[in-house]
Chain A
Amino acid sequence: MTLSLPTHLPVVDHDELHQRMMGNALLAERMLNKFVATAPAECDQLESAIRIGDKSTVTSLAHRHKGTAKTLATHRVAAAASHLEERAATDSVSELLALLEELRQLHQEVRDVVGGESTCSAPENGAQRP
């Protein structure tokens, strides 16, 4: 069973991200870069918590990751993190590791977007007052 959103959705919703970053394309790009840079370490933390059966840490790490993903309008990442948070209480380590793997793949998708073209269609100096 998977609660992930349909894979045809873009991994980053650029319009929403643009709005959340108040029109600042540079900020959006910087935040996405920060996200892909810190994601592997967060996944490693999650992996060790899963392996030692520290369910509350799995819950809180997954919860925080979900929040970060929502802030960056990466909804499929948020859905995967949310799924991990919901399933954190299970005793099945393999199930959780599989969910984590799904999360890592999504991070790779975000990384591909960030490494590719500009992440935002807005002008680079687009810091707009609300």
Chain B
Amino acid sequence: MNSTSKSLRVLVVDDDPIAAETLAYAMSQFGYCSEVAGDGIEALKHVRTGQFGIVISDVEMPRMNGIELCKEIRARNACGYTYVILLTGRSDTDSIVEGLDAGADDYISKPFHPAELQMRIRAGERLLMQQSRELMIFAMAKLADSRDNETGSHLERIREYCRLLCEELSTWPQYQDVIDGIYIQSIYETSPLHDIGKVAIPDRVLLKPGRLTPEEFAIMTQHAQIGGDTLRAVAEAYPEAVFLRMAYEIAMTHHERWDGTGYPRGLSGEDIPLSGRIVAVADVYDALTSQRVYKPAYSHEKAVQIIRESSGSHFDPAVVRAFLILEDRFREINRELGDVVGYTAGPSHLPGTAIRMA
């Protein structure tokens, strides 16, 4: 019985028709749609249609072999990621190494064992699903961010900063039980959503150069509550999705301050979720070192100074300590992913007035 309800399509590449047909039959039994190509050249034509998430390829084939095929797929990664599994002889370690080096994700010995193949495909499917989720979230975040930040890489930097801070904190005894791999992956995926509530802020406030009036500032602060409420509704609808819960926490609390003077709820200390405290530091560092319509970019050193001085008032002292340990890495990411602007030494305002954090 064939059941091809799953949307994932698998491309089987083998010059041996018997092996190819056996593989295609296995795919149909696992519930995947599949197509067969007899060599690498033919396979590439199929891959370019963008319809195949997974390619299972023999290594030795005429015209274009499996390793060359893999290189070609990696060289033109236009339609999203393609997961490549190579079929190799049991003892063929050279081609395994060569294949992985060419960008193959996995290999399986030939002839394949059906149960093993099914497990390997599931692993590929999981990776593809996670990747498409990540792309989807990031696309949404970019869309929201594009109104006030059309060309910048603000979101790309934020998630890198958050990941760095988490990786550091995860090595500290008091965070070892809290920050694990899933936590780090979740903050990397969801931190770009922190300002999603800005979609509800009118242009005259969002895009206003210079300082905001108290009334305008009040409107601006609503973005945290609006983003938080929206994401909370989604998180409640999908309670098993841990990353949605974190997305909600971050959107809601990234403007809370350690001393309780932040918004929207005036939470203080550890009542503020850790993810919100981490994003707060990452977001402020990025805001300080970026040029905005209402301010020039500050130097890295100036930003570090401001964050150090705000430890225990604005920021969680532990997160600031981690930030100061990682300071050089922040500078590197800022250089690598930075928007092209000139630094200024920064005006001699107090941090609260110099940056319009929102």
Q: Are B111 and A34 in contact (CB under 8 A)?
A: no
Interface size on A, residues (CB 8 A): 21
Q: Are B16 and A68 in contact (CB under 8 A)?
A: yes
User: Contacts A31-B21, A129-B29 known; A67 to B16 CB distance under 8 Å?
Assistant: yes
A56 and B44 CA atoms in complex are apart in Å by 25
Tell yes or no: B26 within 8 A of A by CB: yes
Q: Are B25 and A22 in contact (CB under 8 A)?
A: yes
Residue of A nearest to B2 (CB): A127
Tell yes or no: A51 within 8 A of B by CB: no
Q: Are B118 and A70 in contact (CB under 8 A)?
A: no
Tell yes or no: B209 within 8 A of A by CB: no
Q: Are A22 and B26 in contact (CB under 8 A)?
A: yes
Which residues of B sit under 8 angstroms from A63, Cβ to Cβ?
60
Q: Per-position contact with A for B12-55: 1 when CB-CB < 8 Å, else 0?
A: 00011111011001100110000000000000000000000000
Please indicate which of the listed interface residues B17, B19, B111 has the most CB atoms of chain A within 10 Å of its own CB.
B111
A15 and B19 CA atoms in complex are apart in Å by 18
Q: Which size bracket describes the interface of B in this complex?
A: 20 to 34
Tell yes or no: B110 within 8 A of A by CB: yes
Nearest-Cβ distance from residue A91 to partner chain B, whole angstroms: 23
Q: Are A21 and B22 in contact (CB under 8 A)?
A: yes
A35 and B19 CA atoms in complex are apart in Å by 11
A66 and B123 CA atoms in complex are apart in Å by 29
Main secondary structure of the interface of B (DSSP, over half): helix
Tell yes or no: B237 within 8 A of A by CB: no
Q: Per-position contact with B for A48-78: 1 when CB-CB < 8 Å, else 0?
A: 0000000000001001100110111000000
Tell yes or no: A114 within 8 A of B by CB: no
A85 and B194 CA atoms in complex are apart in Å by 61
Tell yes or no: A115 within 8 A of B by CB: no
Tell yes or no: B114 within 8 A of A by CB: yes
Nearest-Cβ distance from residue B141 to partner chain A, whole angstroms: 40
Nearest-Cβ distance from residue B65 to partner chain A, whole angstroms: 10
Tell yes or no: B62 within 8 A of A by CB: yes
Residue of B nearest to A31 (CB): B18
Which residues of B sit under 8 angstroms from A21, Cβ to Cβ?
22, 25
Q: A35-B18, A71-B18, A130-B118 are in contact. List 13 more A-B contacts (CB 8 A).
A: A20-B111, A21-B25, A24-B25, A34-B17, A60-B60, A60-B62, A64-B16, A67-B19, A68-B16, A71-B111, A129-B29, A130-B29, A130-B30
Closest 10 CB pairs of A and B: A71-B111, A70-B111, A68-B18, A71-B19, A68-B16, A22-B114, A64-B16, A31-B18, A67-B16, A22-B29
